[in-house]
Structures are given as structure tokens and as C-alpha cells.
């Protein structure tokens, strides 16, 4: 199934080819990373959040420093672990020395098994399970419409939750100026 992701000011809609919104993502609070995921009828299905873990090292941004979580009824159903780019051709994209490393891969442990989300060189994303590609997201950071394409193996609201985790992943290396 191919869904267009239409981003509004405070929400996203996942729209099928007939133009019907099959899922909606909104902010849980005015500020903060938490999101709510609704089905096409407006029922709250999942929430997502970024969980910062206690520091183990001197640097703030490293593998296992934070996790992304999808909750259903306040119970974690998916947890994502981040893996940062280490090969030279990916880290050469980081032209600023102060910029944090890119998240290259994310392992999402779900109730359905392990999903592997990999960032491509064009800033698109592939989603696979047991070596089989289940979905992909068209490149981020372009002015073209964004699409989530997936095999209909799981419900659309779970895919919306995975999309939120991907949004978190793609913006993990954003610089925050205070």
C-alpha cells in the first residue's frame, strides 16, 4: 500500500490513493516530541515518545543514549535502538565538526518481531524484517511529496507509529541553538 504523508502545522495525515485519511498523527503536547496516533475514525491507538537514558559516557549523543518507544494503552509495544554512521562515505556528509553523527540504522523491537530501518544515501529509508523489505519512505529533506509504501502485513496505525520513529531518527542529528 502506498500512502501520501501530508504534513500540517501540528499534525500529519496518512492518505491512501483514494484521498481518504487512514491515520492521523498529532502532537501530544504543544511542545515536546510525544505524538498521538489515531486511526481513520479518530480513535486514539498509539502514542510515541523519545526516552532519554542515563548518561554512560561523557558525550550526550551515542548509541543507547536514547530510545524511541511506541505505546499502546501506556504499555510499550515497540522500542527502537539507534546505530550511528561509522563508515567514511556516510560520515563525510557531516561537513560541520560540531554536528552530531547521523543515525544510520534503527532496530525496532516490536511485538511482531525485529524491524530494521536503514537510512539510504538519498535520505530515503527502507524497512525490513528477516532480510525481506517490508516498506520504504521516500527521501526526507526534499520539496517533493513524501510517501510511505509498505506491504499490508501490519495495521496502518502501526506503520504510522513506525513513521514517527523514522521522523525522530531523521532529525536526531539536528542542531539545537539556544
Give, for all 178 residues of the chain, the pLDDT tens digit. Answer: 999 999 988 899 999 999 999 999 999 887 778 999 999 999 999 999 998 876 665 554 455 667 899 999 999 999 999 887 765 454 444 445 555 667 889 999 999 999 999 999 899 999 999 999 999 999 998 899 999 999 978 999 999 999 999 999 988 866 555 4
Do 133 and 126 form a contact (C-beta atoms < 8 A)? yes
Residue 29 lies in a domain: yes
Whether 81 is in a domain gets the answer yes
Instruction: With respect to residue 176, please indicate whether it lies within any of the assigned structural domains.
Output: no
Element spanning 170, H or E: helix 156-170
Count Cβ neighbours within 10 Å for each residue of 154-165 and write b for 16 or more, e otherwise. Answer: bebbbbbbbbbb
Task: Look at residue 177 and tell me if it is in a domain.
Answer: no
Q: Tell me which residue range forms the domain holding 74.
A: 2-170
* Domains in the chain, number: 1
Residue 57's pLDDT is what?
A: 57
Provide the residue count of the chain: 178
What CATH number does residue 109 fall under? 2.40.160
> 117 lies in a domain?
yes
User: Would residue 99 count as lying in a domain?
Assistant: yes
> Residue 78 domain-assigned?
yes
Question: Which pTM was predicted?
Answer: 0.84
| Per-residue model confidence (pLDDT) at position 32 | 77
pLDDT value of residue 22? 96
Interatomic CA distance for residues 60 and 158, integer angstroms: 30
- At 102 the pLDDT is 76
Amino acid at each position: 500500500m502506498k500512502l501520501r504523508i501530508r504534513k500540517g502545522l501540528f499534525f500529519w495525515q496518512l492518505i491512501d490513493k483514494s484521498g481518504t485519511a487512514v491515520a492521523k498523527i498529532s502532537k501530544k503536547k504543544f511542545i515536546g516530541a510525544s505524538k498521538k496516533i489515531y486511526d481513520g475514525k479518530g480513535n486514539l491507538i498509539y502514542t510515541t515518545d523519545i526516552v532519554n537514558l542515563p548518561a554512560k559516557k561523557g558525550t550526550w549523543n551515542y548509541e543507547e543514549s536514547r530510545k524511541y518507544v511506541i505505546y499502546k494503552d501506556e504499555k510499550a509495544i515497540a522500542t527502537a535502538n539507534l546505530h550511528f554512521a561509522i563508515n567514511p562515505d556516510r560520515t563525510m556528509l557531516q561537513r560541520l565538526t560540531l554536528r552530531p553523527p547521523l543515525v544510520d540504522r534503527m532496530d525496532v523491537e516490536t511485538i511482531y518481531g525485529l524491524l530494521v530501518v536503514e537510512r539510504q544515501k538519498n535520505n530515503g529509508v527502507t524497512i525490513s524484517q528477516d532480510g525481506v523489505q517490508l516498506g520504504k519512505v521516500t527521501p526526507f529533506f526534499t520539496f517533493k511529496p513524501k510517501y510511505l509504501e509498505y506491504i499490508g502485513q501490519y495495521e496502518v496505525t502501526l506503520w504510522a507509529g513506525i513513521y514517527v520513529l523514522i521522523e525522530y531518527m531523521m532529525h536526531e542529528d539536528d542542531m539545537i541553538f539556544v
